[in-house]
Amino acid sequence: VKTDEAVRKLAPEQSFMCVASLDDKYSYETCRDIGQLTQVRRENVQLVDAGHGTHMFTEPDLVARVVEWVKERLK
């Protein structure tokens, strides 16, 4: 998924969450670097040995963390 252009187009009131695991080097580096493309609020979640994609949702508390992040933005 190409995200660079979408992140650059975010409005000041928007935000994003980026989740990646250290063992997925490309995604981890993308999450680390993508924040430099925008000044909007963002949260980087860096996991260890959590795999890639949906495999990360087996990580304890990740689903709850994402749900809480979404709820905060809906207030």
Q: What is the pLDDT of residues 33-47, one digit of tens each?
A: 998 899 999 999 999
Token readout for 13 is 């009131």
By CB atoms closer than 10 A (0-12, 13-18, 19+), residue 61 is exposed
Q: What is the pLDDT of residues 12-66, one digit of tens each?
A: 999 999 999 999 999 999 999 998 899 999 999 999 999 999 999 999 999 999 9
Q: What does the DSSP 8-state code read for residue 1?
A: -
Please tell me the pTM assigned to this model.
0.84
Looking at the predicted structure, is the pLDDT value of residue 1 above 80? no
**What is the β-pairing status of strands 41-47 and 15-21?**
parallel
Q: Which of 46, 50, 68 is nearest to 58 (CA)?
A: 50
Q: How many CB atoms sit inside 10 A of residue 5's CB? A: 8
Per-residue pLDDT at 3: 87
